[in-house]
Structure 1
Amino acid sequence: MEPLTIGILVMSAMLIVVVLGLPVGYALLGAGTIGYAILSGPSQALTQIGLALWDNGTNFLFIAVPLFILMGQLIFHAGLAEDIFSLAQRGLRRVPGGLGVSTVLASAGFGAVTGSSVAAVATMGNIAVPQMIKRGYSEKLSTATVASAATLAIIIPPSVPLVIYGVWSETSIGALFIAGIVPGLILTCAFIGAVMVQRSQYPAVSATVSDEALPPLSTHAVGLASVFLIFVIVIGGIYAGIFTPTEASGIGVFSVLAIALVGRRLTLDGLRKALKETLRTTAAIFLILTGGIILSRFLVQTRLTDAVVGLVSHLDASPQSILIALALVYLFLGAIMDTFGMLILTLPLVLPITMAIGYDPIWTGIYLTVLMEIAMLTPPIGLNVFVLERATGVPAARIFAGIWPFVAASLTVVLLLIYFPQIATWLPETMR
């Protein structure tokens, strides 16, 4: 049997077992191992597993993944996100839709120091949803705003998916972080616009509380200043070339720990939970990344990647049309698998395609991350929606019913990235 045929059959079988419910990490690892065993024998397959584990385990850049996850977990358990939300709520309390806008801004601020969408949605779900419903917002808009705004955590740096993309594609993680700033701000504005156009679902003045009913400004100002300081240290240090992203992740964890301990905002139980969740998430990502490396090496051996790139290159279509078609493929994949698995599964094919049609790998990382955001919202998987369902008790079907204006806002940003790639590449170029 031809290697190309083997590659097609293995990829088809892997997609089938993923649809049937097998975790993506096991599917990637199994497909790559079985494919190698068919092509080169069982001993070569076992050798590739060992090499992939060694490459990941000794990769200095991969250290940033558990550290950025830990930083987000520490901020979550220290309650710093509540400070951001309370100050945004105070500033916009007399603006129609102001509480919804506050939720988007607080999620963006929380994302600027976490990199984890799941942590953001769990935190903001407990903080913002009860407040919004209490102030007259519809349940559908309240939950959809939180679920959507939480996705900002994976585009506004630091971002765990961008670290994964950088490690796999050997792209500068520092440049990827800087590239995410402008698209992240644009997406924040797009979500604010999505809130403001849904006027029928919130009162004319969303917050009627008096100044006396709000906590003193000083109560939450320290938390906001701390979050801003952490962001400046981590991202400013990377931009200025003072330290690498991996070093920045360690400095970020130390900064959050120092702030939380000095302010007595982190308990021993909170620290234990943060470490436990970090270990669990990192192990899952490590399995997916290892399986993805083995699968990508197998695909190189079958020349399936070359065949797909050659096919796309000979299409009588503009680069923009090809990218729009890829976006539709990602929307489909996002309905049947988790975001990390989707990213690693498609990178061996998608990255060569985008490079072949003239797009920078840094731009590709931002483009794929925005598409991952959409996948975290759309049914039937919609990870953010189900996390929010557990946090608030609102049925997932009701949350899904409200996310479509935010999905439309995200798709608008995707089109802007396709037709104006400088949105993602301009700021990293200033680093050079």
Structure 2
Amino acid sequence: MTALLGTLSLFGLLAIGMPVGFAMLLAGAFGLWLFGGTTLLVGYLTTTPLASASSFELITVPMFILMAEFVILSGVANSLFTAAATWVGRARGGLGIATAVAGAGFGAICGSSTASAATLSATSVPAMLERGYEPKMATGVVAISGTLAMLIPPSIALVLYAIIADQNIGDLLIGGVVPGIIVTLAIALTVYLLALRRPESAPRGPSFTMREKFASLKVAGPVILLFMAVTGVIYLGVATPTEAAALGAIGAFLICLAYGKISRRTIVQAITRSAATTCMIFLILMGAKFFGYFFTLTQVTQNLIGFVDDQQLSPATVLVLVLVLYFILGCFMDQAAILILTVPVLLPLMISLGYDPVWFGVVVIVMAEIGLVTPPLGLNAFVVAKYTGRPLEEVFSGLWPHILAHLIVVAILCLFPETVLWLPGQMQ
């Protein structure tokens, strides 16, 4: 009963619009008070805030966020789209495919999906509409391409999962590389098939000479160097994820400097935004500690594992049910809230059924990508609608083929776990 009251109080606070960090903190405190009274609550209050923020691994979060801020200021995404369009724009649906490639490239140096969607909205959508693309196709591919930043390292979502699940951050980041490539190919293939089915929705772009194509690749140099400064050094064992995040922030600053976008105002702006986002994430983590400890005391996870054992459900059946749960939650809740609410409860269950925690983390993040574009609360769809001035219904209409393609990718990752685990396994 205590667990139920604490959980209901959490959902009640979220329903009235309270920020997830405060909601989890208050609901967790209420649950601890119900379970052990004032003594337990005060004792936990005196130790948890410092313990939540003093972990060395948490330095990764502000460094990746600062890196993303500098990347956004540099405007490199514009050049990435132009380069990709130069190579594939002539193909049927080429500008849509170029958007997917640019989204992957931008995601490889920026861990924020909403920032990626906003940036691509300002570059890709006008170019596609100018070429006669159907608006719902143009906005849909931009919204889904923005989600790649959640999966391709440096991914703040993967770092957040690693911290919540107490897993190696490097393994999670490297584990997202191959699935990130698969998702990028799925987006590109979806665009191509849609254009093949209805050629008038995605006209061909202009052709370019090989000299022009190779000249466009010069923009890829800084992106590749920054990607190697983060993901490459982790994979090679040269640096820890925390050190790699610091290298990434420095590299992004240098790119911004090279593009002539550095000034006192932009530096202050980047640092201020990074600090605000970091404080929000740390507050969420502190709230998660409270609520997680409450769940531990009330043995919610152990009871769930026992319940599944009693039902004699197969691991595959449980996995399908869990994925359906994530799909439903993604339609109504913020992705960070979903991770923090579900991972402490569901991960022990999945491990008890023989599933790898790194593999499960990547699959959960792909499901979170779907949540970013599904109605009624698909955040990326709202971002694209805002920055392009197109109707929200139009954006959602263009997303359904990509949602189906993402579900197929999830099935592939479930059937072939090595697509996730092979690359991290090469690090050991």
**What TM-score does the superposition give when structure 1 sets the normalisation length?**
0.94
Alpha-carbon offset, residue 336 of structure 1:
2.0
Once residues 207 and 71 of structure 1 are traced to their aligned partners in structure 2, the CA distance between those partners, rounded to angstroms, is 35
Task: Indicate whether 1:427 and 2:403 are aligned.
Answer: no
Query: Do the aligned partners of residues 267 and 122 (structure 1) sit closer, same or farther apart at CA in structure 2, a change above 3 Å counting?
Result: farther
1:131-146 counterparts in 2 under 5 A?
131-146=127-142
Distance in structure 1 (CA, Å) of the matches to 2:266 and 2:214: 24
Cα distance in structure 2, aligned partners of 1:205 and 1:338: 32
Given the alignment, which residue of 266, 278, 284 partners 1:282? 278
- Once residues 52 and 406 of structure 1 are traced to their aligned partners in structure 2, the CA distance between those partners, rounded to angstroms, is 41
**Distance apart, 1:12 and its partner CA:** 2.5
Per the alignment, residue 266 of structure 2 pairs with 270
Q: Secondary structure at the match of 2:206?
A: coil
1:180 aligns with 2:163: no
Quote how far apart the aligned CAs of 1:205 are.
7.0
Alignment partner, residue 206 of structure 1: 203
Tell me whether 156-165 or 18-27 shows the greater mean CA deviation. Answer: 18-27
| Conserved? CA contact 2:103–2:116, under 8 Å | yes
Look up the match of 1:83. Answer: 79
CA distance in 2, matches of 1:380, 1:205: 27
What is the rounded CA distance, in whole Å, between the counterparts of 1:151 and 1:72 in structure 2? 14
Compute the displacement of 1:117 (Å).
0.3
Quick one: structure 1 residues 48 and 220, their matched pair in 2 at CA, closer, same or farther if it must change by over 3 Å?
farther
Quick check: 1:313 aligned with 2:321? no
Are the aligned partners of 2:95 and 2:205 in contact in 1 as well (CA < 8 Å)? no
Moved more, 357-366 or 195-204: 195-204
Which residue identity lines up with residue 272 of structure 1 in the other structure? V
Q: 1:18 aligns with which of 10, 14, 18?
A: 14
For residues 324-349 of structure 1, the C-alpha deviation after alignment (integer angstroms, 9 at most, x for no partner) is: 11111111211221110110011121
Matched with 1:72 is 68
Within 1, Cα distance between the matches of 2:377 and 2:258?
Answer: 40
TM-score by length of 2: 0.95
Q: Aligned-residue CA RMSD in angstroms? A: 2.0
Give 1:354 deviation, angstroms: 0.8
2:249 matched residue in structure 1 = 253
> Where in structure 1 are there 5+ consecutive unaligned residues?
none
CA distance in 2, matches of 1:251, 1:300: 37
> Is the Cα contact below 8 Å between 1:107 and 1:153 reproduced in 2?
yes
Using the aligned pairs only, state the percent identity: 36
The 5 Å alignment of 1:360-371 reads 360-371=356-367
TM-aligned CA deviation for residue 415 of structure 1:
1.3
List gaps (5 residues or longer) in structure 2.
none
Q: Which digits, 9 at most, give the CA deviation of each residue in 1:120-165, with x for residues without a partner?
A: 0011010101111111111111111000011011111111011111
Q: Which runs of 4+ in 1 moved over 6 A?
A: 215-219
Task: Kindly provide the amino acid, as one letter, of the partner of residue 387 in structure 2.
Answer: A
How many residue pairs were aligned? 427
The structural deviation recorded for 1:274 is 2.1
8 Å CA contact 1:111–1:157 kept in 2: the answer is yes
String of CA shifts for 1:72-102, please: whole Å, max 9, x gaps.
Answer: 1111110111111111000012111110000
Residue 97 of structure 2 corresponds to which residue in structure 1? 101
Query: How many angstroms apart in 2 are the aligned matches of 1:369 and 1:181?
Result: 12
- Paired with 1:202 and 1:74, the residues of 2 have a C-alpha distance of 38
